[in-house]
Structure 1
Amino acid sequence: MREAMQWSRGTFHILTDQNALDLTAIQSFLNNAPWSYGLPLSKLKKALRHSLCFSLLENHVQIGLARVITDYTTYAYLCDVYILEEFRGQGLGSWLIQCVLEHPELQGLRRISLLTHDAQTFYKPLGFAPLLQPERYMERPLGKTLSPQLEGGSIIDIISG
């Protein structure tokens, strides 16, 4: 098991301790998120268990999350990033991603990637850019992955903070 890390800023804390995850709070948010629409609790538990998770807490209450799927050597995929609406606009989203990017076990990777519908302006100042050679990227969709809400909608407000 990897050593848990913690960052603090006033009453806000970011922890990588799996025990800090509030499954009920995370599922409540993600069940309404366009990118995670309808994910059953059993699959959410499995996804979190096999990921490096960054819980954003205020006074021990889950208010945000960033999840990283990685081999800790060459590649990481950043996903399920959110900040509850009432906590946005305080720089917490940027701080959360900075903590992810500074995590010691994610140093030396060749690449960290993410998918976003319309949050490019949020991620760009954090060092993310469009694919240099998008024609090399391929995927094999295996089922319904997105909510109908995502079509033409905006998710940038979910993470900006």
Structure 2
Amino acid sequence: MQITTDKAALNIALIHNFLSTLSPWAQGISLETVQRSIEHSLCFGGFIDGQQIAFARVVTDRATFAYLMDVFVLPDYRGQGYSRRLLEVIQDHPDLQNIRRFILVSSSARGLYEKFGFHSPAKPETFMEIHRPDLYR
């Protein structure tokens, strides 16, 4: 799998379709919202023979904080090591070195993320959020 951070190479329609219909976290998200999120994030697209099969984005100040999100591999390509490869490239990206706090929210694939150093917060009582789970519906 080839991985790029070139936003011009991304298949926005594929990303929108996955997020809005197949993901449990962004059901109903609008194309405009996906486009804006990509515009303001460090994005990673995974490709095989020129076809996009994977995606992830990182919201970051590129100095102290990063939030990994919207990570997916298309269903037909799962179980072949592509998610591991995607995470390796993300962690090796020069703009994400020496980040003090790198977070993600995941209800699945926790074992995968743990292999890359992610773990439950040491002090979960210090984390706060405003969560609007039905915002896109």
**Contact residue 78 and residue 112 of structure 1 kept, 8 A:** yes
User: Which residue is equivalent to 2:32?
Assistant: 42
**Contact residue 20 and residue 29 of structure 2 kept, 8 A:** yes
Unaligned ranges ≥5, structure 2: none
Count how many residue pairs are aligned between Structure 1 and Structure 2: 136
**Contact residue 23 and residue 45 of structure 1 kept, 8 A:** yes
**TM-score under structure 2 length normalisation:** 0.94
Runs of 4+ in 1 over 6 A off after TM superposition: none
Q: Relative to 1, partners in 2 of residues 1:146 and 1:39: Cα closer, same or farther, differing over 3 Å? A: closer
Q: Distance in 2 between matches of 1:34 and 1:60?
A: 27
Q: Distance in 1 between matches of 2:68 and 2:57?
A: 6
2:89 counterpart of 1:99: yes
Unaligned ranges ≥5, structure 1: 1-11, 148-161
- Aligned alpha-carbon RMSD (Å): 1.5
User: Which residue is equivalent to 2:69?
Assistant: 79
User: Which residue is equivalent to 1:5?
Assistant: none
Percent of matched pairs sharing the same residue: 38
**TM-score under structure 1 length normalisation:** 0.80
3-state DSSP of counterpart to 2:37: helix
**Contact residue 34 and residue 146 of structure 1 kept, 8 A:** no
CA drift of 1:118 comes to 2.7
User: Which residue is equivalent to 2:56?
Assistant: 66
3-state DSSP of counterpart to 1:31: helix
One-letter identity of the residue aligned with 2:82: L
Q: In structure 2, which of residues 41, 44, 49 is the aligned counterpart of residue 54 of structure 1?
A: 44
